Structure 1
C-alpha cells in the first residue's frame, strides 16, 4: 500500500513536470525551476560584483568612509533575508515611483545580502596577502589599482573561492524565499501542486529537495573542476 501511494505521488510530479520546469511559459511569464536558476544566476553575478567592489573598499578605505561601509555591510549581514525581500518589494516602487517586478526585488535582496558576505571574504583574502608583495609592487612602479587588479585580488579570490562558492550555494537555496512575494519560482509552484492535491506532500517536497541538491552540487562540482583545470594548466 505504501509503495502504491509513493508511486501515485511521483506520478503527480510526472504529470506536472512541465509546470514545475518552467511554469505556464510561454503563455505567461517564466516560472518553476527555470526561473529559480535565472534568479540564482543573476543574484550570484550581482552579489559577486558588489562583494568584490566593497571588499576592495574595506581594504583601501580609511576614516569615516570605511566605518560607513562596515556598518552597511554589518547591517545587511544581520538582517533576516526575508525582511529584506519585504523591504525591497514594498520600498523600491515607492522610492523610484515605478512598478518594479517582484522577481527583480528578490534578486536585489539576495544580491545585497550575498554581496555583504562575499565582501568580507574578499577582504579576508586580501589582507592575508603578505605586505611584502604590496611593497615589491610599489617599488616596481605599479599603481595601487594595478597592484590590486593584477596581483592581490586574483590571489585573494583564489584563496577565498570555497567561501565564495558556499555563499553562491546559499543564494540558490535562499531564492526559494521568493514565494513570500508570490514569485512563481520552483518552490512556489511545488506548493501550489501540493495544495491542489493535499495528499502527496512527502513525494512533492522530496522532489523539491532532490532538485535543490542537484543544482547546488552541480555548481560546486563545476567550480572545483574549473579550479583543478586551471591548476593543471598553471603547472
Structure 2
C-alpha cells in the first residue's frame, strides 16, 4: 500500500467517528454534535438578538442605556472566558452543575445575541419613517406596525449580518473542547492522538467539514431570505 492509499485508508476509517462520534453505541459527537450545538445556539442568539434589537429601537432613557451596557459587556467578553464562567463559576457561586454542552450553548447564545441585537437595530433604523407612518395611519398600533410592516422589510437588511454571525458561531463552537465536549475539533484531536500519523491530512479534512457546514448555512439562509422576499431561489 503506497502513501496516498494509507492516508485515504486512515481518513475513511476515522470518518464515521469524526461525523457522529461513538453514536449509537455511545454519546453523539463529532460533526453531528457541532451541528446540534450550532443550531440550538443560533436559534437562541436570534431570539435574544431580536429582543435586544427591538429594545434598542423602542426604549428610551436609562433603560436603553442599561441595555446598551449589557450588550456591550457580552460583545467585549471573549467566548472562551464566558464558557469558563458558566462551566466553573456557576457551580461554585450557585451550587448547580452546568453540563459542558449547555455552558457552551449559553456562552455562544449570549455573545451572538449581543452582536445580532445591533444588526436588528440597524435593520429597523434602515426602514424609513414613512413606513411607520403608513402603518399607524392604517389603525395599527406601534407594536403591530413594527411586527407587520417594519420587521418584514428589515429582515432583508439583517440577513447578511445574521449569516456572518452564525458562521462565526459554528467556528466558535470548536472552543467547546476546553470543557470536554466531544464536538468536531475534540474528536479530531482524539483521532490524531490515536493514529499518530497524517495530522495535516486529518485536520485538512476537519477544515473541509467546517467549510461545508458554513457553506450549507449560507445557502440555506440565502434561500430562505429569497423565499420570504418572493424571489426565485
Q: Partner residue of 1:153?
A: 151
Say if 1:140 and 1:229 are closer, same or farther in 2 by CA, change over 3 A: closer
Structure 2 CA distance for aligned equivalents of residues 227 and 220 of structure 1: 11
Structure 1 residues 137-176: aligned runs within 5 Å: 137-176=135-174
In the alignment, is residue 127 of structure 1 matched against residue 118 of structure 2?
no
Match of 1:212 among 195, 210, 232: 210
- Structure 1 length as normaliser, TM-score? 0.92
Q: Partner residue of 1:187?
A: 185
Structure 1 residues 1-235: aligned runs within 5 Å: 4-232=2-230
Determine if contact 1:10/1:204 at 8 Å carries over to the other structure: no
Determine if contact 1:6/1:203 at 8 Å carries over to the other structure: no
Q: CA deviation at 1:85?
A: 1.0
Structure 2 CA distance for aligned equivalents of residues 154 and 225 of structure 1: 16
Structure 2 CA distance for aligned equivalents of residues 165 and 138 of structure 1: 31
Structure 2 CA distance for aligned equivalents of residues 102 and 17 of structure 1: 24
Deviations 1:65-122 (A, max 9, x none): 1111101111111111111111111123345433221001101100111101111000
Between stretches 152-161 and 167-176, larger displacement belongs to: 152-161
Determine if contact 2:86/2:98 at 8 Å carries over to the other structure: no
Q: What value does the CA root-mean-square deviation take over the aligned residues?
A: 1.8
- Structure 2 length as normaliser, TM-score? 0.93
Q: CA deviation at 1:31?
A: 0.7
Q: CA deviation at 1:52?
A: 0.3
Structure 2 CA distance for aligned equivalents of residues 64 and 148 of structure 1: 22
Aligned residues: 232
Determine if contact 1:57/1:66 at 8 Å carries over to the other structure: yes
Say if 1:196 and 1:72 are closer, same or farther in 2 by CA, change over 3 A: same
Structure 1 unmatched runs, 5+: none
Determine if contact 2:159/2:225 at 8 Å carries over to the other structure: no
Between stretches 91-100 and 33-42, larger displacement belongs to: 91-100
